Structure 1
Amino acid sequence: MNLKKCFIVFSVLMISHIGFSQEALRDFFQAGQQNAEILTKAYLRPYGEMLGTALNAGWYNSAKVHKFGGFDLTVSVMNAVAPASAKTFDVNSLGMEGVNVSGDGIAPTIAGEMDTRPSISPDGTGDFVSFELPNGSGNDKLPIPMVQAAVGLPFNTEIMARVVPSMDFGDAGEVSVLGFGVKHSLKNYIPFVKRVPFLQMSVLAGYTKFDSSYGIESSEQVTVTDGELGISSGAFTTRLLLGANFPVVAIYTGMGYGSTNSDFDVKGTYYVKDLSEELDPFSLNYKTSGFDFNAGLRLRLGFLAIHADYTVGDYSVLTAGVGINIR
């Protein structure tokens, strides 16, 4: 399988979360404008949070900084995994108005799946259609493929750029990613690290921008005009890196702080037939921030480097990749 086909496979898996949610987004409009926004935000939350977490991973496979003129070109996949707590949500805790909820009120998010799901109905004060809440995808993983390049500059510094070229999958959607980062060696500033040849220490900062969109089509209950879900996410991370570099094997760890900001724009107009009412689009925002830690291993076979690492946080991330590494 060539590189382009690999990217297509992983990108389709990445946007399958949102593609699966098309039915859910339409159904939620049957609960009325305000309740539709509340339900949609709870349902899509794992995707919004996994997305930002995955974008902050995969920036490095060594704590060492390239020498001047050295470079690497790496293809990686960052696979975020949702915790069990992100696979369901409690409808009763959302603060919706005019709603009766059947059963215990526990419903699946887009990352979960349930055979039996609660229904919502008007309590006499609300004006909307009774319906069963939609199922999730049953997929708690979000892989993001990435091509990244780094080049060494003077003063023990290297700059990095990462990209997923814009790809259009027709009705499935489209996606693009672009990011920039910088890494600076601390080895010469710390006497103990400076005296031990194989020890490496550096600091890194990186920012990644993700954009995606896909169309939302009509159903028997909801007529959609110009429907689209647009997603824009920005992820920023700063990290302290520590590692040991040997001729074939490099061990590395990183700890730091990351923040993400993701906007989900539900566009178009939505006419609910049973209500004889046209509802407006809306926007949702997801923010995450916090500290995390990762550890990894890189094998270098000549110019070829293979790496894998695991990030521990609210959403864990497994990263693996292969690339060309010189100096």
Structure 2
Amino acid sequence: MKRIFTGIIIATFLLANVEFTKAQSFEEVVESGVADANTYLGHYMNPVASSIGNGLANGWYNTAKPHKTLGFDLTFNINMATIPDAAKTFEFVEAEYDNISLANPANSSLPTFIGGSTDQNLVISGNREVAGGQSIAYDETIGAPDGILDDLDYPGPLAIPTPTVQLGVGIVKNTDLIIRFTPQISVGDFAFQSFGFGVKHDFKQWIPGMKLLPFDLSGLVAFNRLNTTYQINEAEGQVAEFGASATTVQAIISKKLLFFTPYAGLGFNIVRSNFAMKGDYQFDGGSEPYTVTDPIDLSFDGSGEPRFTIGARVKILWVLALNVDYTIQRYNTLSVGLGLNIR
């Protein structure tokens, strides 16, 4: 069972490009009860889920100037939302749990998925319903799950690469319609797909006198969603699902200088993500095996915040452009893109 839980986390966060090799105590955490398991794993997995969600919020633009009607760009971006050091640990608050406590309450700081190792132990106790409707008491001590950083040779701040491919098309009244779409891609038991859309509109045209000023000023509203699934055991309906979405609202200003266009943006994003394990899972439970249905259902909200972006686009050929920008927010994000532009 431990191998299954380790495999789920690897598959779910495949974009992290890390190897999670330690044998973890996820089976025992789930044995504490579904509610406690969801609370603990919610804290443990939050940094990675938030990084992926914040990555989706980036890369929507590299200039404030919309295309002319039927002008377009096709752009590939890599967005890397840096996980802050504070997210490497979380505080264990005993009041949040029914059946889990700390063996050493003086040390309540525990590693998240991207944290290091810990010598802290968890005490799991309570009553468990087993076959035949009977209830048995249990009391055991397990090692708290470690993070990955002790096993990860990483040269800088940890970030989850989030790739996006998008098509922007000029429609009417200095407006761009932007579409992101990746059809379902399946590799073995793992499947991935994403979609998104946005609208960028030049609102300087509606303000008397502003159209004469030597810069471009636009507003952007955009939404992006990705979904991944991992088939644990298709015959028994066991599947893990991860989804993330980001809504971005931004005011953008830019100034074209020959082949160089600096740009900046100010706004906010709303990031949400979810992780679930569905199906029936059998646990040993010592001498009495038992089954848990849909043991994990996590939601991660509130990682989006106000944001400020600064960057530049450089034409490297007549129709090719390279853009780099950096967004300052709680999960600071670096975006690098390459696009084909036909104005």
SS in structure 2 at match of 1:207: strand
Q: What runs of 5+ residues in structure 2 fail to find an aligned partner?
A: 1-11, 128-136, 153-157
Task: Work out which of the residue numbers 301, 308, 328 in structure 2 matches 1:287.
Answer: 301
RMSD: 2.7
Paired letter, 1:127: Y
1:95 Cα deviation from its structure 2 partner: 1.9
- Residues 1:183 and 2:197 are matched in the alignment: no
Paired letter, 1:254: G
Going from structure 1 to structure 2, the CA distance change for 1:227 and 1:264 (only over 3 Å counts) comes to same
TM-score (structure 1 length as normaliser) = 0.85
Task: Work out which of the residue numbers 236, 241, 244 in structure 2 matches 1:230.
Answer: 241
Task: Work out which of the residue numbers 109, 116, 119 in structure 2 matches 1:117.
Answer: 119
- Residues 1:202 and 2:215 are matched in the alignment: no
- Paired with 1:293 and 1:280, the residues of 2 have a C-alpha distance of 43
Task: Work out which of the residue numbers 106, 123, 142 in structure 1 matches 2:160.
Answer: 142
- Residues 1:249 and 2:260 are matched in the alignment: yes
Do the aligned partners of 2:185 and 2:192 also contact (CA within 8 Å) in 1? yes
Q: Which residue of 1 aligns with 2:83?
A: 82
- Paired with 1:52 and 1:182, the residues of 2 have a C-alpha distance of 19
1:227 Cα deviation from its structure 2 partner: 3.3
Paired letter, 2:59: G
Do the aligned partners of 1:29 and 1:270 also contact (CA within 8 Å) in 2? no
- Residues 1:211 and 2:227 are matched in the alignment: yes
1:22 Cα deviation from its structure 2 partner: 9.5
| Equivalent residues, number | 308
Going from structure 1 to structure 2, the CA distance change for 1:291 and 1:242 (only over 3 Å counts) comes to same
Going from structure 1 to structure 2, the CA distance change for 1:24 and 1:80 (only over 3 Å counts) comes to farther
1:225 Cα deviation from its structure 2 partner: 5.6
1:235 Cα deviation from its structure 2 partner: 1.6
Do the aligned partners of 1:82 and 1:315 also contact (CA within 8 Å) in 2? yes
Paired letter, 2:306: F
> Alignment identity in percent?
28
Q: Which residue of 2 aligns with 1:309?
A: 325
Q: Which residue of 2 aligns with 1:3?
A: none
Do the aligned partners of 2:25 and 2:142 also contact (CA within 8 Å) in 1? no
Paired letter, 2:326: Y
Paired letter, 1:111: I
- Residues 1:158 and 2:176 are matched in the alignment: yes
1:12 Cα deviation from its structure 2 partner: 7.9
Paired letter, 2:62: N
- Paired with 1:35 and 1:292, the residues of 2 have a C-alpha distance of 34
Q: Which residue of 2 aligns with 1:320?
A: 336
SS in structure 1 at match of 2:305: strand
Paired letter, 2:333: V
Going from structure 1 to structure 2, the CA distance change for 1:209 and 1:322 (only over 3 Å counts) comes to same
Q: Which residue of 1 aligns with 2:141?
A: 130
Do the aligned partners of 1:38 and 1:94 also contact (CA within 8 Å) in 2? no
Paired letter, 1:33: V
Do the aligned partners of 2:320 and 2:341 also contact (CA within 8 Å) in 1? yes
Q: What runs of 5+ residues in structure 1 fail to find an aligned partner?
A: 1-10, 218-223
Paired letter, 1:236: T
Q: Which residue of 1 aligns with 2:111?
A: 108
Q: Which residue of 2 aligns with 1:58?
A: 59
Going from structure 1 to structure 2, the CA distance change for 1:122 and 1:231 (only over 3 Å counts) comes to closer
TM-score (structure 2 length as normaliser) = 0.81
- Paired with 1:12 and 1:52, the residues of 2 have a C-alpha distance of 12
Do the aligned partners of 1:271 and 1:278 also contact (CA within 8 Å) in 2? yes
Q: Which residue of 2 aligns with 1:7?
A: none
Going from structure 1 to structure 2, the CA distance change for 1:20 and 1:207 (only over 3 Å counts) comes to farther
- Paired with 1:178 and 1:186, the residues of 2 have a C-alpha distance of 26
Q: Which residue of 2 aligns with 1:263?
A: 274
1:110 Cα deviation from its structure 2 partner: 1.3
- Paired with 2:315 and 2:96, the residues of 1 have a C-alpha distance of 54
- Paired with 1:244 and 1:315, the residues of 2 have a C-alpha distance of 27
SS in structure 1 at match of 2:70: coil
Do the aligned partners of 1:120 and 1:132 also contact (CA within 8 Å) in 2? yes
SS in structure 1 at match of 2:306: strand
